[in-house]
Structure 1
């Protein structure tokens, strides 16, 4: 077969009847494919259907070759070991039994003589040199767990590999190792990701909502989209002009027909011609008027349809456009000062943040970045030293769990801005794309992308206005549109930022001014 994965007329709905997609046709051949789409478009669902973890409501999935699948959330158990996660425990046990002198047929059937060497080599390649095969999963960090799962898939040498958001929870070193592994992959790979650097390593982009594939990287695809949107924008302008012209012609035609009817009626009343001739002329005038009216109305309708099609072609994800003057911090003013700080995770040392700095807080997985943010906010007491906050601060946690699910968006914002009027809150939410009735929806009913925007709104619309924002891995699990919206919102923010992230393209897009790395000895800064 020419393709390793073929999806034909594929349909899937959730048990409550919510349709994810219908009659979907996609084919993935040899090479690396980046699968993109907004949150909720069905990317992870499609991978699960290909992997056989879900059953389609209609259509079929055909996979040629052995399949490997790395889901977002690996099935773990606290007592399981790295060896278990790699899937090599039976082969190792057989090897060790043979080494002890147990030469049973069952052991010879199960043994893989070089299993430990191959596993060790794969772990080392992915930066896990200090991870023992018998180490329990419970002692691994989130990033280490992902890399062990990835090592297991590479160790199995599948013909087709599916990766779902593999860079989540990975530090910069782990991401680079993942990039190298992906770049060297020669068989079929389909990866769902919002990581721009990863998506610029693929051979083609599959856009799920648009149901189209493009031969090239994400950056190249976005260049093509920009050209298409500009062409579509021109089509909108042409269609709008055509609609105005057709409306003018319709008005002019109606005016002429009205004059003709009035003239015919006048001639009939004055009886200047035989009655039968006048009645025929009146009938012809009415028929002609009807034809002209129908013709011009059809032209207007066609012009409206062309305009609607042009607008649909140019329609993009909504853009957040806010102005936040109250968040401004004068240049050089101290907003945060850490003095000899030690957190529960280890030493930090001294750090001063001045407005309106934009600080990226980096460090390997498990170094204590999240603990530091929570200590700054007072959620965790410092072990030693002190934290001084000189301005109002707000925190965006990884889990986005700062909203009350039972409350509407308006009420959630009013909870952090009690002095604001309902109209002011609704106006603020509209800038975050919650207009009209959408602002009254309970927070618990929001999709992932909507919830992210709602959390962002509650942070930036809070009173007093936050002049320091602390953000913990803000792009995790966000689709590309949401990442773009976050960058748009932060472009209007005038206070200081401290952002924990390993997403370098995102950090560059928000204008980071200082890079702070948290290591075993504390923090070090670089411009």
Structure 2
């Protein structure tokens, strides 16, 4: 099999010495590969190294052809325009200058063979459902989902030989996801994508699981890999049970052997004391019994050690993936109590379901739906800034609550100044920040780790929230963490408003209302 991406002995650590990858070997063939693994396992770091954004401390990476890369978090200036994101602004400006009569040589050099650059750009935008987005529109006016789709359009427009996508479905509405799925399925080149989106991972040709510093490849989709893994786990757990039984049996036989030997020694001692046989014969028998006892004891001890070694080996074969344990504040809100009254902009629509005011009563659980760019994030910001009748906390889509220069521990303590250090460490341990990991600067965290740190800070804040506002909370989370978050939110007894395109996640929350934000009509009961 020929490989398009080869990773040879790559090691990487952050500037503070925190290791991420250590001597990693991996190879990815042609086609679409889904790279999975727990948050913090190094998936995003590996993609950045392959893209050339990070240099490994040791080892090397070789890639066949030109590389395109869509990062997990897009850091874009608000004043940039869509044409800039697509990488066609220079060609467009030159083309417009030529059309206006300016025939300077540098304009023709800038255009090259791209005389239809605007038409091709429009085709890619339209294909991804961005027909309403103009090329001169600024980034500040785009929603998170629209920004991601424009960045995707830029990659599809360039047509690189190898395309790296890091959580490409983050912030995308259902229509945008379907369009992305179609584009991924039709991609003719090499693609390596990191995602927790199950539907997307059913479109790949193979799965690569980055776990404990090594990559394991499986030819097939996520469901096929999980079936194989489940069978392996069942066999591994069966081996553990067999090994445990063997340890018990060997331990029992060792005790029985020692009991028999002790009985023989007592009998021999009694015979010696009664002098029933010649002294020389009894001494010879004593030496022979001691040698035999030693051999017997050593044999059973060695068998017990071997059984314990087999048990240790069997236990190591069983996956024990750490999962976050979220304990939300016990802040029950009485039924019927009004926690929020927010006047809404007047609309010209005639739909009777459109709301003139958003009234939330505790402990309501509300899902906020709507296409990208419809204003869901704007609405959540308004709620957070407007103020509620109870303490409110807002988990923003861009996870900008924390200070990148401070450690995880110091960020949480800044929001919970009265908490003791050991209390904060205990809370962070439930989010898998243990030991020295609490001292890591937030700027060095992966997307999933940053989410966990942000959520830990949000839920530790003083006073604890009785109204939670969550904007796309499953972005960057691995599958076990999504399940843990859903279970914790389902047990929360405060008021809750969640904006998300992840319907399976929303259906686990025990929602009481579904609202839909529309670009033109406004907010309505769904």
Q: Give TM class, smaller chain.
A: 0.7 to 0.9
Q: How does 1:55-454 map to 2 (within 5 A)?
A: 55-74=55-74, 76-77=76-77, 80-99=80-99, 100=101, 102=103, 104=105, 107=108, 110-209=112-211, 211-319=215-323, 333-338=336-341, 340-342=343-345, 349-353=356-360, 357-377=364-384, 380-381=385-386, 389=389, 394-398=393-397, 399=399, 401=401, 429=427, 432=430, 452=451
Change (3 A) 1:97 1:450: closer
Change (3 A) 1:268 1:414: farther
The equivalent residue for 1:54 is 54
Change (3 A) 1:261 1:226: same
Contact 1:327-1:466 within 8 A present in 2 as well: yes
The alpha carbon displacement at 1:458 in A equals: 6.6
Partner SS state of residue 135, structure 2: coil
Distance 2:492 2:276 in 1: 80
The equivalent residue for 2:23 is 23
The equivalent residue for 1:483 is 482
Change (3 A) 1:525 1:291: farther
Change (3 A) 1:291 1:453: farther
The alpha carbon displacement at 1:246 in A equals: 1.8
Change (3 A) 1:355 1:37: same
Distance 1:138 1:114 in 2: 27
- Equivalent residues, number: 509
The alpha carbon displacement at 1:290 in A equals: 2.4
Change (3 A) 1:20 1:490: same
Partner SS state of residue 163, structure 1: strand
Contact 1:408-1:440 within 8 A present in 2 as well: no
Distance 1:145 1:463 in 2: 34
Distance 1:412 1:104 in 2: 58
Distance 2:492 2:328 in 1: 6
Contact 2:367-2:514 within 8 A present in 1 as well: yes
- Could you list the per-position Cα deviations for residues 306-360 of structure 1 after superposition, in whole angstroms to 9, with x for gaps in the alignment? 2223333333324566788955667x635545364349xxx96233445554321
Change (3 A) 1:46 1:440: closer
- Could you list the per-position Cα deviations for residues 232-263 of structure 1 after superposition, in whole angstroms to 9, with x for gaps in the alignment? 33333222222222221222222222222333
- Structure 1: give runs of 5+ residues left out of the alignment: 382-386
Change (3 A) 1:102 1:190: same
The alpha carbon displacement at 1:42 in A equals: 1.0
Contact 1:3-1:27 within 8 A present in 2 as well: yes
- After TM superposition, the score normalised by the length of structure 2 is 0.82
Q: How does 1:464-475 map to 2 (within 5 A)?
A: 468-475=467-474
Distance 1:429 1:480 in 2: 21
Distance 2:197 2:85 in 1: 25
The alpha carbon displacement at 1:475 in A equals: 1.5
Contact 2:76-2:139 within 8 A present in 1 as well: yes
Distance 2:328 2:81 in 1: 50
- Could you list the per-position Cα deviations for residues 135-170 of structure 1 after superposition, in whole angstroms to 9, with x for gaps in the alignment? 444544433332222111111112211111222233
Distance 2:142 2:340 in 1: 32
